[in-house]
Amino acid sequence: MLTITFIISIIALVIAVLAYQKAGGVASLKKQTEVLSNLGDSIVKATDSMRDKTADLLDKMEGALRGKEEPKPTRKKEQGKQ
């Protein structure tokens, strides 16, 4: 009985290996890994771009809220007006 169980398990293992190879096997797994790696690189680039745009926008907002500082009149102009 033990021998029959062992033979059935070996046959099941062979069928599983054949099914794995037919489904794509290691080549498919490598291809999927490469695609995910490229996707990760794209996400990093997009994140960096968004970070730069956000920093620029916050810089503009700060300038609008604070307003541009007007140059202070010098003493010579004040003395000339009196």
Q: How far apart are CA 82 and CA 78, in angstroms?
A: 7
- Looking at the structure of the chain, the number of domains it has is 1
Quick: pLDDT tens for 14-60.
Answer: 999 998 888 877 777 788 888 888 888 888 888 988 999 999 999 99
Amino acid at 44: V
- For residue 30, being part of any structural domain is answered with yes
Q: At what angle do helices 25-66 and 2-22 cross, to 10 degrees?
A: 50
Q: For residue 69, is it within any domain? A: no
Give the position of tokens 């970070």: 51
Q: Is residue 63 part of a domain?
A: no
Is residue 70 one of the residues assigned to a domain? no
Residue 31, domain extent: 23-52
pTM of the complete model: 0.41
Taking the C-alpha atoms of residue 14 and residue 8, their distance in angstroms, rounded to an integer, is 10
Whether the predicted pLDDT of 75 surpasses 80: no
Contacts of 24 (CB under 8 A, 6+ apart): 31
In a domain, 36, yes or no: yes
Residue 17 lies in a domain: no
In a domain, 28, yes or no: yes
